[in-house]
Structure 1
Amino acid sequence: MLKIGVVCLARKTFDYNAAAEIYKEKIEELKSIKYVEFIFDENLVIEVEEAQNSVKKFVDVDGIVIISGTFHLGHLALIYASLKKPMLLWAFNELPYNGGKIRLNSVCGLNLNASNLYKAGYDNFHYTVGDKIDMDWINALKMKKVLENTRLGVVGSRAHGFFNLGIDELNLNGKAGTLIDYLQLDELFDYANNSESQYEEKLKEIYDVSGINNTQLSKVSKLIRGLELFFKEKNINAMAIRCWPEFASKYGISPCAAMSYLQANDYIIGCEGDVEGTLSMIATKAASNSTPFLADLSQVNLEENYALLWHCGVAAYNLWDKKSNRSLDTYFAGGKGVTADFVLKPGVISLLRIDSARGKTRLFIAKGEAVEMKKELKGTYAKVIFENHINSLLDTLVKNGVAHHAAMVYGDYMRTFEIFGQLMGWEIIRG
């Protein structure tokens, strides 16, 4: 759960009593946000000494909301900034004039704070003006927090030849707080082989399994249980799997179908050992509270201006369009593929890729709309028309060397993603 400190600054030469009443209302409104623990200084902070005492309450928070209830001393925000936490500068709308005098001058206070912070070298602040807190900032802070709390298991390594998915794990830990553990494929195979096969009937309810045999169905079921146990006993909360070529040759099937099932049940599992792709899934889920899909920009139609976001059959089954046949199939790896096959549902989508290159981390983001299409090929996929022409998006991807996987999530989260990139200090590449 996020922990956010909240303080309201004021000065007695303005209508600080009105600011105090507004602040009381905002405290009650903020308490209704379920996934945040707010730590309030419930009194207005006016003097430097008050800020010096108040700041002690916020040592352990993930971020601080600094409200300019009225115009105020410039010292105050700098005292809270000394904690080096992400900050939201919030100004109230101006009240109706009273006798020709400006009552709050709240925006000017925000401007003062922003100028002082910028000139003091602080870049970790965002701002909002209005009656409501900026939920995009809160969700971006949630994205940052979830990466800090992620212990990611890399099972095997990256896929053979996928050099562009390589990472500097200590740099990633230093920048995002993520801890990475390397685990062995053979150990996961042992977990699966020694697990009970208990998901066959559930799989039959969800997918058309006529395209696979009973042995393959059992292996999918046992792998689901093995992965559940692996998550629990290895104390990891996300996983990036080297899903080929060893899975088909040593275990007997690929993990795609099992991943499709588990990801619809709140597990995060990335394909092909892609650590940053998996982190992208974690971040998009934190922003949206919905299921992500790690996809390839697999096909583009430059004339008709669309792309196919496809992967070989790992999309969570709850992303199904409810029209195509949702099935399991064995179309690749010499009949050992065992993938999910269906078209994804239509709707607005946002795309995000955390991506390292040349010593820096970038954030590729794009917005589009998944549109209806017929089930014409194997795997899981969505036909997407992007906000910008596909030719421009492809040009941006290629010229910036962005890796070939990105996390897709339903909804428009572009502003949240941009704030997240700012919080992390990462370059933003907009497709």
Structure 2
Amino acid sequence: MNNMPEVKIGVVAVSRDCFPESLSVTRRQNLMKAYTDKYGEEGIYECPVCIVESEIHMVQALEDVKRAGCNALVVYLGNFGPEISETLLARHFDGPKMFIAAAEETGDDLVQGRGDAYCGMLNASYNLKLRNVQAYIPEYPVGDASDCADMIHEFVPIAKALVGLSDLKIISFGPRPLNFLACNAPIKQLYNLGVEIEENSELDLFEAFHKHAGDERIPAVVKEMEAELGSGNKKPEILQKLAQYELTLKDWVEEHKGYRKYVAIAGKCWPAFQTQFGFVPCYVNSRLTAQGIPVSCEVDIYGALSEFIGTVVSGDTVTLLDINNTVPKDMYEQEIKGKYSYGLQDTFMGFHCGNTAAGKLSFCEMKYQMIMARTLPEEVTQGTLEGDILPGDITFYRLQSTADNVLRAYIAHGEVLPVATRSFGGVGVFAIPEMGRFYRHVLIEGGYPHHGAVAFGHYGKALFEVFKYIGVPVEEIGYNQPAGVRYPTENPWR
């Protein structure tokens, strides 16, 4: 299933009519050559019809990039630029847009060759705000051809996420489980973001599951599962049901996504799921997530949304974990202290029952869900994928709506340490610099639920820009402050 957006970026150069147009023409050509030499020709388009100097040129350029199939836009100030026409271009383009500007090339040509785009970018940003037009502007948006090519390349995952959100539907099944109010948040912000939501009953899913009994595709899916699990296939008797459930979800997606191109799922997994379906859905959730269809546990709608964003930005499988438990002091002393540059409070264990994809685990085994089996027959709790999470860089993050309908987010870079967890489920020993303070003054103070999304790599820069672009107030994007930088709610005499 193709559930990931692609972008085609249209590059439109602009010029103020009292500056030499040739500056913008030459600089656009140099920019395109620098980009294609570094990153290839796929996914980028150079608008050849005009350099935008007027509103008429703006319309011509807009029509051209639309005809070319562009769904993202770069407005390139080859010189000072026409602030009205260039911002009207951004206003009328339906998709993510970026503004960058050309630096001067040489001290030997600062008369006719001086473009003043550094100055023009100020006017462009001012006019964007006058028109309430959102655009991505890099941290330092002025550079030579090579610099600007790199800026466009960094824009690609941001643009992909924004395109994906504009065409996303989240499909959920059932209300949040009892005592899981933390995963219950107003869905109004989904509509504000342009995301559709389809909320279904568990009974609808149960009916669809039974209709897939005996589906001729089940044996092929079972073989896929057997190959993926290898020696970790400890519960072969449950694979038929899991394959039936996987096909149920995939068919539901195809039949219910409607006019939307992309889908994420917020699924139910307890308390009645196990007794009625006869298994837990963790392994299937992991498989769909690895195939680009993120599935959150416990009907965590904003968890599914976060997973989707991370999947698109990283171009890789993500997972959803509980920010779960502390690392015991004796384990820290034996396995971490002196080997890694983290204090005890920088570490914690991220866990979930078994929804992390096999490709993100150091080893895996199909098992039963130990927590659920404390109150239920073990045979109805089978279907988890257990193992220690692969060590390496991670980004822990979440996008959330508060109870009073305010968008909020957090982002933290860290790593999974190569330390045996000695525990159960899909679990890892995580380390984030200044995690203890971040936990108290961002996660607790911000009212975040226990679920956090995990991307495998450091993607904070792109995620920050995505969150900012979609309207999360910058003061509501929390991150782990370095030592010595106080949080507003932190006691100065701590």
Measured at CA, do residues 39 and 19 of structure 1 come closer, stay the same or move farther in structure 2, by a change above 3 Å?
closer
What SS does the aligned partner of 1:126 have? coil
The whole-number CA distance in structure 2 between the counterparts of 1:35 and 1:395 is: 44
Correspondence 1:407 to 2:453: yes
How far 1:281 moved relative to its partner?
Answer: 0.8
Correspondence 1:310 to 2:351: yes
Contact 1:308 1:382 in 2 (8 A): yes
Superposed CA offset, 1:99-136 (max 9, x none): 55252222222122113323454444424222313333
Correspondence 1:365 to 2:378: no
Contact 1:191 1:227 in 2 (8 A): no
Moved more, 347-356 or 59-68: 59-68
**Structure 2: gaps (5+ residues):** 1-5, 328-342, 481-494
The whole-number CA distance in structure 1 between the counterparts of 2:224 and 2:72 is: 42
The whole-number CA distance in structure 1 between the counterparts of 2:301 and 2:110 is: 59
What SS does the aligned partner of 1:345 have? coil
How far 1:232 moved relative to its partner?
Answer: 2.8
Contact 2:32 2:46 in 1 (8 A): no
The whole-number CA distance in structure 2 between the counterparts of 1:106 and 1:232 is: 48
Report what 1:286 is aligned to.
Answer: 312
Report what 2:99 is aligned to.
Answer: 89
Moved more, 290-299 or 360-369: 360-369
Moved more, 215-224 or 338-347: 215-224
Correspondence 1:54 to 2:64: no
What SS does the aligned partner of 1:180 have? strand
How far 1:331 moved relative to its partner?
Answer: 4.0
Report what 2:205 is aligned to.
Answer: 185
Report what 2:381 is aligned to.
Answer: 337
Report what 2:225 is aligned to.
Answer: 203
Instruction: Give the letter for the 2:51 counterpart.
Output: L
The whole-number CA distance in structure 1 between the counterparts of 2:40 and 2:165 is: 21
Correspondence 1:67 to 2:76: yes
Superposed, 1:28-177 pairs within 5 Å as: 36=43, 38=45, 40-57=47-64, 62-83=71-92, 86-98=96-108, 100-101=110-111, 103-127=114-138, 128-130=141-143, 131=145, 132=149, 133-177=151-195
Measured at CA, do residues 84 and 163 of structure 1 come closer, stay the same or move farther in structure 2, by a change above 3 Å?
farther
Superposed, 1:11-26 pairs within 5 Å as: 11=16, 13-26=18-31
Instruction: Give the letter for the 1:232 counterpart.
Output: E
Measured at CA, do residues 117 and 233 of structure 1 come closer, stay the same or move farther in structure 2, by a change above 3 Å?
closer
What SS does the aligned partner of 1:273 have? coil
For 1:231, which of 253, 264, 268 is the aligned residue?
Answer: 253
Superposed CA offset, 1:5-57 (max 9, x none): 43211246545424312212334566766774647254222344433543444
Measured at CA, do residues 48 and 409 of structure 1 come closer, stay the same or move farther in structure 2, by a change above 3 Å?
same
The whole-number CA distance in structure 1 between the counterparts of 2:97 and 2:237 is: 55
Contact 1:349 1:367 in 2 (8 A): yes
Measured at CA, do residues 160 and 179 of structure 1 come closer, stay the same or move farther in structure 2, by a change above 3 Å?
same
Higher strand share: 1
Contact 1:361 1:426 in 2 (8 A): yes
How far 1:285 moved relative to its partner?
Answer: 0.7
Contact 1:307 1:383 in 2 (8 A): yes
The whole-number CA distance in structure 1 between the counterparts of 2:83 and 2:242 is: 62
Report what 2:325 is aligned to.
Answer: 299
Q: Equivalent pairs: percent with the same residue?
A: 19
How far 1:164 moved relative to its partner?
Answer: 2.5
The whole-number CA distance in structure 1 between the counterparts of 2:109 and 2:233 is: 79
Report the RMSD for the aligned CA atoms in angstroms. Answer: 2.7
The whole-number CA distance in structure 2 between the counterparts of 1:237 and 1:73 is: 40
Q: Across the two proteins, how many residue pairs are aligned to each other?
A: 427
Name the TM-score, length of structure 2 as normaliser: 0.78
Moved more, 33-42 or 264-273: 33-42
The whole-number CA distance in structure 2 between the counterparts of 1:271 and 1:65 is: 38
Superposed CA offset, 1:314-350 (max 9, x none): 10111122xx4x1011142321322101111111111
Measured at CA, do residues 137 and 289 of structure 1 come closer, stay the same or move farther in structure 2, by a change above 3 Å?
same
Contact 1:7 1:42 in 2 (8 A): no
Instruction: Give the letter for the 1:337 counterpart.
Output: T
